[in-house]
Copies of this chain bind each other. A is one copy, B any other.
């Protein structure tokens, strides 16, 4: 019988049921999960920002959850004792559903994995994942406050494009990610540009996925805290044309490739990126409207690019920058670091912003670098945060850096 709540005729219902089942990648265990257990929600984020993690595994002997929402613990490694993510034990109910509820979490985007009988695995009930180098983990956002900047809010949204540009300096077409602010396409205005660089093991997907750049920019612009701007996220690995899986190398297991990406080639060819952007977008092509920032290796690139092109950027952001000795490097990009830094200083700029966490392994290198800048009399602003070399810090730094630009 047809009612208001039941508007579908039987034949259609049958078709729909078959459709649903045929579209789900069914196997016997999935069926078990589908029909034998209740519909599992994981992670379930409660009103107080505590989070319940659940995993259906009647036969498992132990399940843990590990992630950056838990306090770090000391772990042994071949490099000595290090900080590692903590773990928490799940407990099993009589239906075979394991669960663990966290304490109330501070507002943040968190990542986590399960460890089932000793094996790390993703959460089959959470389809939201991010890749960091070769590791894929689930993510969730808890709370408002700072975390509200990472959410898709009901505000005007910019456009995110993956686009290819010609790099004569590297002899290939290369892929980049570009954010244009809300209204860009309808506007005749020209916009300022932030070049935002990833770290070692990252690529043109890192800032947009792990860094939540589009959400941060949409929200800061909507709140009037950031000027509408274009954000360009290039690929800093000079031996690849695009992120793993997105380029002509096909799908392969990503790895670090630091030596090739910190040998001066990227800095030397960075003009290709700027030229592409300034020829293809409505941008203000002057120093006052160019900013460059990056995390870790991207902070290193920011430092070197901005002094190598010493009158190009008015705003620099070094987020947990991998400051490294380059005295014996052969590329001419590094041949006169002190001289070009001094030229950059003499040319003047609006902001040289350095941020690092107190427990970052690059803390001392940054301290030495600041001492060098102090000796030179090169002005900078410095922010010291809690924590180490982690995405949480880099997202926060971005939200702190961007409001200072183009004012």
Is A122 a contact of B121 with CB atoms below 8 Å?
yes
Closest residue of chain B to A163 (Cβ to Cβ) is B159
Query: Of B60, B128, B135, which one neighbours A24 at CB under 8 angstroms?
Result: B135
Closest residue of chain B to A26 (Cβ to Cβ) is B84
Is A18 a contact of B244 with CB atoms below 8 Å?
no
Distance between Cα atoms of A164 and B161 in the complex (Å): 12
Instruction: Decide yes or no whether A296 CB sits under 8 A from chain B.
Output: yes
A window 143-161: CB within 8 A of B: 151-154, 156-157, 159-161
Distance between Cα atoms of A169 and B61 in the complex (Å): 53
Chain B residues, Cβ within 8 Å of A83: 22
Query: Of B84, B117, B322, which one neighbours A19 at CB under 8 angstroms?
Result: B322
Copies in the complex: 2
Instruction: Decide yes or no whether A23 CB sits under 8 A from chain B.
Output: yes
Chain B residues, Cβ within 8 Å of A124: 120-121, 136
Of the 9-residue stretches A71-79, A310-318, A347-355, which lies at the interface with chain B? A71-79
Instruction: Decide yes or no whether A380 CB sits under 8 A from chain B.
Output: no
Distance between Cα atoms of A31 and B120 in the complex (Å): 11
In the complex, per-residue mask of A1-42: 1 if CB is within 8 Å of any chain B CB, else 0? 010000111011001111111111111111100010000010
Instruction: Decide yes or no whether A268 CB sits under 8 A from chain B.
Output: no
Is A253 a contact of B27 with CB atoms below 8 Å?
no
State whether A25 and B137 are in contact (beta carbons under 8 Å apart), knowing that A78-B35, A322-B15 are contacts in the complex: yes
Instruction: Decide yes or no whether A141 CB sits under 8 A from chain B.
Output: yes
Instruction: Decide yes or no whether A324 CB sits under 8 A from chain B.
Output: yes
Is A324 a contact of B22 with CB atoms below 8 Å?
no
Of the 9-residue stretches A188-196, A221-229, A254-262, which lies at the interface with chain B? A254-262
In the complex, per-residue mask of A81-124: 1 if CB is within 8 Å of any chain B CB, else 0? 01111010000000000000000000000010101111111101
State whether A16 and B258 are in contact (beta carbons under 8 Å apart), knowing that A127-B244, A156-B173 are contacts in the complex: yes
Closest residue of chain B to A200 (Cβ to Cβ) is B19
Query: Of B57, B135, B141, B361, which one neighbours A119 at CB under 8 angstroms?
Result: B57
Distance between Cα atoms of A12 and B329 in the complex (Å): 11
Is B163 a contact of A31 with CB atoms below 8 Å?
no
Chain B residues, Cβ within 8 Å of A11: 325
Distance between Cα atoms of A139 and B136 in the complex (Å): 14
Chain B residues, Cβ within 8 Å of A77: 21, 26, 31
Instruction: Decide yes or no whether A378 CB sits under 8 A from chain B.
Output: no
A379 to chain B, nearest CB (A): 27
Is A29 a contact of B115 with CB atoms below 8 Å?
yes
Q: What 6 A-B pairs are tightest by C-beta distance, nearest first?
A: A161-B161, A157-B164, A121-B121, A159-B163, A154-B248, A127-B131
Further 10 A-B residue pairs, CB within 8 A, beyond A21-B77, A26-B77, A152-B248:
A8-B259, A15-B365, A21-B79, A26-B82, A29-B115, A30-B120, A59-B117, A154-B248, A157-B164, A186-B280
| Chain A residues at the B interface, C-beta cutoff of 8 Å | 2, 7-9, 11-12, 15-31, 35, 41, 57, 59-60, 66, 75-79, 82-85, 87, 111, 113, 115-122, 124-129, 131-137, 139-141, 151-154, 156-157, 159-164, 173, 175, 182, 185-186, 199-201, 242, 244-248, 250-251, 253-254, 256, 258-259, 280, 296, 322, 324-325, 328, 330, 361-362, 365, 388-389
A-B contact pairs, 18 of them (CB 8 A): A18-B361, A19-B322, A23-B133, A24-B135, A25-B113, A25-B135, A28-B75, A31-B76, A116-B119, A124-B136, A127-B245, A129-B136, A151-B250, A152-B242, A153-B248, A154-B173, A157-B164, A186-B280
